[in-house]
Structures are given as structure tokens and as C-alpha cells.
């Protein structure tokens, strides 16, 4: 039994809090911190006052350190913005406390994400005798573990991986994002990128697409994006010749995004407005629906997984490892839509692996670095059952 400190009270963070509260035999105390105290208070009420709450500016590494010293958690779960990864990691280093997140660091002034900033902390974490687990969401996260499971059990050599993500749900809004609007739009509007035959290939944003038959959803057009798990899987999956990431978008979403780009509302550089400097994307974020508000009216399913191709016993083999999650069922259990649920449940599951000592190490690790079997088993138990289909 251990105390856990969760930083971030957004849609996915709320799922982590509620799932941890349902496992008191593992998490003896659940603490929640956020810049917005009202979100913490709402969650505390929904959890029958079972959690301790704190106001925190996660950009302030010293404040994070002081809270860690006060709470004395075994693990800090970072559910805040990717901009805050390094400040929280610094605090964990100083406090000698294990760290975990769901998305890699991204500088606020540049739409670029990569693991180098966090991988550079490896030796420091080794010296302090603690571990950092990066990207314990769904993609990245579960998709990494699916690949590790395939490498361990299903293939002698993996040659091709396509990570595919479909949200076939309907939330009733003309335009909304399923997680933080700022992060979502920055991710989609940057150049696409994939890895083939030992090199990275860049393409214009949203310039390649294909129709993919998603389990329990059917054929949907998906677009090639760059996604962070590609970077670590290239290092850790042996025999790889190509890896790509594909995501679906509704026509309404793409139409609105194109217009917003054309008028400059997705810019991340400051502009002058009535004598003040504002970032257009920050302003747009305030106008869009809060992702945590979407769950009540969300209908449909997500279908996410990995299409993996390679060699087993000298023969060609191709499989689809996937999970299908229902928006209505996610909301019924946690008050959150399925995109938040599929991020929050793996975060809680990764925390279980660390707290119970199933995944151990000193340094900075990605999800595929550990034995996938206990994590896969726990996913079935905690609400994200997975399936394997031979193609």
C-alpha cells in the first residue's frame, strides 16, 4: 500500500483519480493537485471526500518539490500538460520519488515533441536510484506494450508496424477536441513523419491517408501523423523496417481545422491585440468545449491498436492487436468519455506496475522496456480488454 500524487485534474486525470480510489489495497492514499482548485474540489466530492487535494502551479518545480515533501508519495503521476514534464521530473529527482507521465515533453514556444529532453535525464535518475516511466497512456502507452507483447510471444522478427487510432464517437458539437485543445491542434498541424529503412521521412501535414477497417467500427479514412511512440519503438523493436501512425478525423473536424488555420487561429506565436500580446491558439482554447464536458452526450466507440507484420517460424505473419472502448460505458463508470478513459486507465495501470514492484528499474524508461504480460493482464481487469486477430 502506497500514497500516490496525481498532478492534473483534467478529463484523463479525473479517470486516474477515480480508478486509483477503486484500488485501496494498492493505493492507500490518493492525493490530487491542480492549478485550478475548483476542479480538485469537484473530484473530491465525486470521490466521497476520499482524496486529499492541493493547489499547485506545476510550472514551478520548487513548489512541486515542496508538495512532494509534504505528501511523501511513492509515485508522482503527471497528468498535467506536456510543457510541465521537465519541471515535475526535476522535482521528483530532488525528492528521490518515482515519476510517471502519459505524454512526452513539448516546449511551449515550438510545436515539436521528442523524447530527447526526457531521455537526457536517464543518468540523473540512475544516480538517485529512482525510475521514470514515460508515456503510460494508450498511444503512447498501451500501443507500446502491444508491440512488446507481439515481439515476445507472436513473432521471431517484426518488420512492419502501423499504429491505428479511430474515434468513431459523436459528441454533438460542430468542433471540439477530445483532449487539451492546444496540445491536440499542435499535434495535428505539424508535419507528418514516419520511419522506413533506417531513416525518418517527413511529409506535409495530413497529406497521406488510407482507409482502415477498424474492429467494431468498420472502414474509416485515417491520416498519417507523427506520434511520439514511434521514436522509442524504433529503438526497441528488433528487425523493424517501417513504422507509421494513423488517426481518423471527421469531415467536420477537418473542415473547421482548415478554416482556423487559414485565418491564423492555430498560431502559437504572440500577436498584438488591443495593445496586448496574445497567442491565438490560447484564445481559441478558451472558446472550445472543455474535453471533460463532452462525456455526457458522447455516443459510439474508439478502436485503437497495432497492425503488426513479420516472421514466425520462417513464415510470414500479420496480426491486429486492439482494444475497443465505448463512450457511454466509460461515462457510466467514471463520468468521462472514452478518449479520457483510454488514457486514464493505462496511467493507473502503469502506476500499479510501479507501486507493486512488478516493473522496477533505475533511470528513464519507455513502456516497451518492461515485461508486457502483467500489464496486459491488468488492462483486462481494469476495463480495457484487448483482442488479437490474425490477418
Determine what percent of the chain is predicted with pLDDT higher than 90: 77
pLDDT for position 273: 86
pLDDT for position 129: 98
Q: What is the 3-state secondary structure (H, E, C) of the chain?
A: CEEEEEECCCHHHHHHHHHHHCCCCCEEEEEEEECCHHHHHHHHHHCCCCEEEEECCCCCHHHHHHHHHHHCCCEEEECCCHHHHHHHHHHHHHHCCEEEECCCCCCCCCCCCCCHHHHCCHHHHHHHCCEEEECCECCCEHHHHHHHHHHHHHCCEEEEEEEEEEECCECCCCCCCCCCHHHHHHHHHCCEEEEECCEEEEECCCCCEEEEEECCCEEEEEEEECCCHHHHHHHHCCCCCEEEEEEECCHHHHHHHHHHHHCCCCCCCCEEECCEEECHHHHHHHHCCCHHHCHHHCECEEEEEEEEEEEECCEEEEEEEEEEEEHHHHHHHHCCCHHHHHHHHHHHHHHHHHHCCCCCCCEEEEHHHCCHHHHHHHHHHHCCCEEEEEC
202: pLDDT strictly greater than 70: yes
7: pLDDT strictly greater than 90: yes
The listed CATH number (3.30.360.10, 3.40.50.10490, 3.40.50.720, 3.40.50.150) that belongs to domain 142-335: 3.30.360.10
Determine what percent of the chain is predicted with pLDDT higher than 70: 98
228: pLDDT strictly greater than 90: yes
pLDDT for position 352: 98
- What stretch(es) of the chain map to CATH 3.30.360.10? 142-335
pLDDT for position 111: 66
- What stretch(es) of the chain map to CATH 3.40.50.720? 2-136+343-375
pLDDT for position 263: 85
pTM of the model: 0.93
The CATH code that applies to domain 2-136+343-375 is: 3.40.50.720
Amino acid at each position: 500500500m502506497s500514497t500516490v500524487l496525481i498532478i492534473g485534474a483534467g478529463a484523463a486525470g479525473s479517470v486516474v483519480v477515480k480508478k486509483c480510489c477503486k484500488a485501496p489495497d494498492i493505493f492507500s492514499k490518493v492525493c490530487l493537485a491542480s492549478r485550478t482548485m475548483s476542479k480538485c474540489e469537484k473530484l473530491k466530492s465525486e470521490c466521497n471526500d476520499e482524496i486529499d487535494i492541493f493547489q499547485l502551479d506545476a510550472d514551478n518545480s520548487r513548489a512541486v518539490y515542496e508538495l512532494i515533501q509534504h505528501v511523501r508519495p511513492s509515485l508522482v503521476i503527471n497528468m498535467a500538460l506536456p510543457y510541465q514534464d521537465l519541471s515535475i521530473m526535476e522535482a521528483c529527482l530532488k525528492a528521490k520519488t518515482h515519476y510517471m507521465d502519459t505524454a512526452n515533453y513539448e516546449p511551449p514556444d515550438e510545436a515539436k515533441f521528442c523524447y530527447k529532453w526526457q531521455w537526457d535525464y536517464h543518468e540523473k535518475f540512475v544516480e538517485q536510484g529512482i525510475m521514470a516511466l514515460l508515456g503510460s497512456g494508450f498511444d503512447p502507452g498501451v500501443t507500446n506494450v502491444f508491440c512488446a507483447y507481439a515481439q515476445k510471444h507472436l513473432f521471431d522478427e517484426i518488420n512492419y508496424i502501423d499504429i491505428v487510432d479511430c474515434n468513431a464517437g459523436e459528441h454533438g458539437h460542430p468542433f471540439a477536441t477530445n483532449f487539451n485543445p492546444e496540445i491536440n491542434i499542435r499535434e495535428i498541424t505539424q508535419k507528418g513523419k514516419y520511419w522506413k529503412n533506417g531513416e525518418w521521412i517527413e511529409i506535409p501535414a495530413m497529406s497521406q491517408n488510407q482507409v482502415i477497417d477498424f474492429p467494431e467500427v468498420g472502414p474509416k479514412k485515417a491520416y498519417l501523423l507523427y506520434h511520439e511512440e514511434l521514436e522509442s519503438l524504433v529503438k526497441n523493436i528488433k528487425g523493424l523496417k517501417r513504422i507509421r501512425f494513423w488517426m481518423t478525423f471527421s469531415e467536420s473536424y477537418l473542415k473547421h481545422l482548415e478554416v482556423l488555420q487559414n485565418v491564423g487561429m492555430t498560431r502559437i506565436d504572440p500577436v498584438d491585440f488591443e495593445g496586448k500580446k496574445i497567442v491565438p491558439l490560447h484564445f481559441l482554447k478558451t472558446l472550445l468545449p472543455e474535453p471533460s464536458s463532452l462525456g455526457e452526450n458522447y455516443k459510439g466507440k474508439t478502436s485503437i491498436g497495432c497492425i503488426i507484420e513479420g516472421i514466425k517460424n520462417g513464415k510470414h505473419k500479420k496480426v491486429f492487436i486492439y482494444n475497443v472502448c465505448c463512450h457511454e460505458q466509460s461515462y457510466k463508470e467514471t463520468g468521462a468519455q472514452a478518449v479520457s478513459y483510454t488514457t486514464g486507465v493505462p496511467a493507473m495501470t502503469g502506476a500499479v506496475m510501479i507501486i507493486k514492484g512488478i516493473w522496477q528499474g533505475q533511470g528513464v524508461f519507455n513502456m516497451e522496456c518492461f515485461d508486457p504480460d502483467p500489464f496486459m493482464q491488468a488492462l483486462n481487469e481494469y476495463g480495457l480488454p484487448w483482442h488479437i486477430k490474425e490477418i
